[in-house]
Amino acid sequence: DTGVSQNPRHKITKRGQNVTFRCDPISEHNRLYWYRQTLGQGPEFLTYFQNEAQLEKSRLLSDRFSAERPKGSFSTLEIQRTEQGDSAMYLCASSPRSDAYGYTFGSGTRLTVV
Amino acid sequence: GDSVTQMEGPVTLSEEAFLTINCTYTATGYPSLFWYVQYPGEGLQLLLKATKADDKGSNKGFEATYRKETTSFHLEKGSVQVSDSAVYFCALTGGYNKLIFGAGTRLAVHP
């Protein structure tokens, strides 16, 4: 297993377009988190999945954002009608049932909205 | 709500200098505390952690002690190297073990 994989690494899109990011966690990890990091700031929590259930969503996650984790494996994060303020690094992390603090972060998807 | 405050950077040191990066937190309950490091062009990596009061986390020469009485988790290293240049994030666990991060402190170490 090579860790948490995120695709694409970079995405440039025009304002108003929809984008989708994918996260493949470590296979035995049942917990999956999405975070957003803007320049000069720490990552901010967006949403959390335990297996396929989305158990928490941040207020930061407007109705333009939706996340899924079908079958408790990979996860997707979709942003509809992108705005310039959505430009950020989107990070995915996973952790196993046996160690809730054993996070592994992916390298992130950098989104630029022009 | 729960939050983390870190000292502002950048912190600029000469090689072999002593490092302290201050971190204080506000939390309900008894969170676990973490330091993460982000090297240029790389993802976040766990540096060390402490899960209860008075615990000391340590790794690669870095140390931090969970001080409940002062709600602090300051990061220290006795002798920094150029390779320690990175951004350091203090974090605590909130509900569902999500991480709540500080804004980060950039460290630059010069030879």
Tens-place pLDDT, residues A1-56: 579 999 999 999 999 999 999 999 999 899 999 999 998 899 999 999 999 999 99
Distances (CA, A) of B32 to A45, A100, B28, B60: 16, 11, 12, 20
- Eight-state DSSP code of residue A60: T
Residue of B99, B100, B105, B106 to mutate, interface with A, max A Cβ within 10 Å = B99
Is B4 in Cβ contact with A105 (below 8 Å)?
no
pLDDT of residue A100: 64
Nearest by Cα to A67 from A100, A1, A23, A12: A23
* Distance (Å) from the alpha carbon of A35 to chain B's nearest alpha carbon: 9
Is B45 in Cβ contact with A42 (below 8 Å)?
no
Is A42 in Cβ contact with B91 (below 8 Å)?
yes
Contact indicator for B91, B37 with CB cutoff of 8 Å: no
Residue of A103, A107, A109 to mutate, interface with B, max B Cβ within 10 Å = A103
pLDDT of residue A1: 54
Tens-place pLDDT, residues A58-111: 988 889 999 999 988 999 999 999 999 999 999 999 998 767 677 899 999 999
Distances (CA, A) of B29 to B24, B71, B91, B92, B94: 15, 12, 15, 11, 9
Name residue A92's amino acid.
C
- Eight-state DSSP code of residue A86: G
> Chain A to chain B, count of Cβ pairs less than 8 Å apart?
52
pLDDT of residue A72: 87
Give the residues of chain B that fall short of pLDDT 50.
none
